[in-house]
Amino acid sequence: MTENADLTSVLDRAAQGGRITAEEALELYRHAPLHALGRAADAVRRRRYAGTEHIATYIIERNINYTNACVTACKFCAFYAPPKSDKVWTRDLDDILRRCAETVELGGTQVMFQGGHHPDYGVEYYEEHFSAIKKAFPQLVIHSLGASEVEHMSRISGVTPEEAIERIHAAGLDSFAGAGAELLPERARNAIAPLKESGERWLEIMEIAHRLGVESTSTMLMGTGETNAERIEHLRMIRDVQDRTGGFRAFIPYTYQPQNNVLKGRTQATLFEYLRLIAVARLFLDNVAHIQGSWLTVGKDVGQLSLHYGADDLGSVMLEENVVSSAGAKHRSNLTELLHLIRAAGRVPAQRSTTYEHLLVNDDPANDPADDRVVSHLSSTALAGGTAHPELKLIDAG
Ligand code: SF4
């Protein structure tokens, strides 16, 4: 059999829902024709969502950044400041609760509590903040943090990750956002985040969380110089854990942004590489329900295309974002535009919950929500010229 015939047969098997090996996934990633790869991934998506395959989902959420102080100094990060730097800031609880109130007012359903590894913030800090948020806004889902934060807060408080997870879950954390995965294979991870826990440890902690009943999403940072084999190895590491726990709800790859960080943009993932990864992820991760296209880092047009390469979700209207936008992500959108992008890609938009239930199917443009305040505000605090009010008041109290 020729090499091409082999590739075609692997692609056919994957499109029909058969499991493929990591080696086969790498072959597809390297050599399968782009459109054929997209068609196969789309076939898998359609079968998985038969009956609702015409729908693509989105969520309305807000990232709440509580501090930029961080001891971990990742080389791709443009958000953090060393703890003793005069650039360090922290948000007090009142400020955080005001941001939550605005999220609720604007129809948001989820907050992502996101910040640096502050040298003093242990489990107690998160318990206090999550319980205050839940007390004031029980309807808000706290989908936040990841294994890196758990590892850090456990160390600060001198407890096990199990205890840290149980305590913050009891305080109000609903699910982990899966931050800090970056790249899980050892060489690629050490090259960009040498002070972070290993990829194996990241997965070990997520596995503990899943076993304790706290589900998560999983992420991947593309474009910092990792090899194709390392990209596929990242997927393999996630799939192996998922075979045991089933706790990853979604896989969300996004691309490295080149500004204001140590890596200086010397390497970047191309948009073709991103689309190929979305497609191979849909084919290879046969045990992960959702694949998210990330218009925020790759742009709206590539986000639309991702819906034809296996993605069933187009991310969010992020009412506030300061992390990837500090590194140069400038693709800003609003609810009206996001609905349009999904429709123009041939899908019916549906607002979803954190657990991917459809909250509102936007099947008639005449009934679209018309609140022009539901806009993504980027780099609103971390850089001069951010798009929100410097005090981040999204809603004019006057
Ligand atoms: S990515 Fe997170 S852990 Fe790494 S330096 Fe930035 S804030 Fe710190």
Q: Look at 128 and 317; give whichever has higher pLDDT.
A: 128
Q: Are 137 and 100 in contact (CB under 8 A)?
A: yes
Q: CB of 121 closer than 6 A to ligand 1? A: no
pLDDT score, position 1 = 46
* Ligand 1: centre distance to CA 69 (Å): 9
Q: Average per-residue pLDDT in the chain? A: 91
pLDDT of 398 higher than 80? no
Is residue 74 part of an annotated ligand binding site? yes
Q: CB of 117 closer than 6 A to ligand 1? A: yes
Q: Is 25 helix (H, G, I), strand (E, B) or coil?
A: helix
Q: CB of 70 closer than 6 A to ligand 1? A: yes
Which residues span the domain enclosing 254? 54-367
CATH number of the domain within which 240 lies: 3.20.20.70
Q: How far is CA 42 from CA 14, 108, 171, 181, in A?
A: 11, 29, 40, 26
pLDDT score, position 199 = 98
For residue 271, is it within any domain? yes
Reported for 303-306, long-range contacts at CB under 8 A and 24+ positions apart, including other chains, are 303/341, 304/341, 304/342, 304/344, 304/345, 305/275, 305/345, 306/274, 306/275, 306/278
pLDDT of 397 higher than 50? no
pLDDT score, position 246 = 98
Quick one: which of 188, 191, 238, 190 has its CA closest to 217?
238
Q: CB of 192 closer than 6 A to ligand 1? A: no
pLDDT score, position 327 = 65
Q: CB of 179 closer than 6 A to ligand 1? A: no
* Ligand 1: centre distance to CA 35 (Å): 36
Quick one: which of 151, 252, 130 has its CA closest to 209?
151
Distant-in-sequence, close-in-space partners of 135: CB < 8 Å, separation ≥ 6: none
What whole-number distance in Å separates Cα of residue 338 and Cα of residue 317? 8
Number of domains in the chain: 1
Q: What is the pTM of this model?
A: 0.93
Is residue 316 part of an annotated ligand binding site? yes
Residue nearest to atom 7 of ligand 1 (CA): 116
Angle at 326 between CA 188 and CA 261, to 5 degrees: 45
For residue 392, is it within any domain? no
Q: CB of 74 closer than 6 A to ligand 1? A: yes
Residue nearest to atom 2 of ligand 1 (CA): 116
Q: Is 218 helix (H, G, I), strand (E, B) or coil?
A: strand
Q: CB of 295 closer than 6 A to ligand 1? A: no
What is the average pLDDT across 287-316? 93
Quick one: which of 385, 351, 392, 344 has its CA closest to 368?
351
For residue 383, is it within any domain? no
* Ligand 1: centre distance to CA 382 (Å): 14
For residue 146, is it within any domain? yes
For residue 355, is it within any domain? yes
* Mutate-to-test residue for ligand 1 from 80, 155, 220, highest number of ligand atoms within 8 A of CB: 80
pLDDT score, position 133 = 98
Q: CB of 73 closer than 6 A to ligand 1? A: yes
What is the average pLDDT across 131-152? 98
Q: Which atom of ligand 1 is nearest to the CA of 76?
A: 1
pLDDT tens column, 176-198: 998 899 999 999 999 999 999 99
Q: Are 249 and 316 in contact (CB under 8 A)?
A: no
Q: CB of 145 closer than 6 A to ligand 1? A: no
What is the average pLDDT across 123-147? 98
For residue 222, is it within any domain? yes
Distant-in-sequence, close-in-space partners of 216: CB < 8 Å, separation ≥ 6: 146, 175, 176, 177, 178, 206, 209, 210, 247, 248, 249
Q: CB of 152 closer than 6 A to ligand 1? A: no
Q: Which residues pair with 250 in a beta bridge?
A: 290
Q: CB of 79 closer than 6 A to ligand 1? A: yes
> How sure is the predictor about 325, in pLDDT bands with cuts at 50, 70 and 90?
low
For residue 209, is it within any domain? yes
pLDDT score, position 385 = 53
Residue nearest to atom 6 of ligand 1 (CA): 77
Q: Which atom of ligand 1 is nearest to the CA of 182?
A: 1
What whole-number distance in Å separates Cα of residue 133 and Cα of residue 190? 35
Q: Are 331 and 296 in contact (CB under 8 A)?
A: yes
* Ligand 1: centre distance to CA 78 (Å): 8
* Ligand 1: centre distance to CA 310 (Å): 29
What is the average pLDDT across 47-61? 97
Place of tokens 């990837």: 324
pLDDT of 159 higher than 70? yes
Q: CB of 256 closer than 6 A to ligand 1? A: no
Question: How would you classify the pairing of strands 358-361 and 348-352?
Answer: antiparallel
pLDDT of 323 higher than 90? no
* Ligand 1: centre distance to CA 351 (Å): 30
Per-range mean pLDDT, top range of 129-133, 256-260, 266-270, 365-369 = 129-133
Q: How far is CA 10 from CA 20, 275, 311, in A?
A: 7, 19, 20
Q: Look at 204 and 179; give whichever has higher pLDDT.
A: 204
Q: CB of 235 closer than 6 A to ligand 1? A: no
pLDDT score, position 379 = 55
First-last CA distance in the chain: 72
For residue 6, is it within any domain? no
Is residue 182 part of an annotated ligand binding site? yes
pLDDT of 65 higher than 70? yes
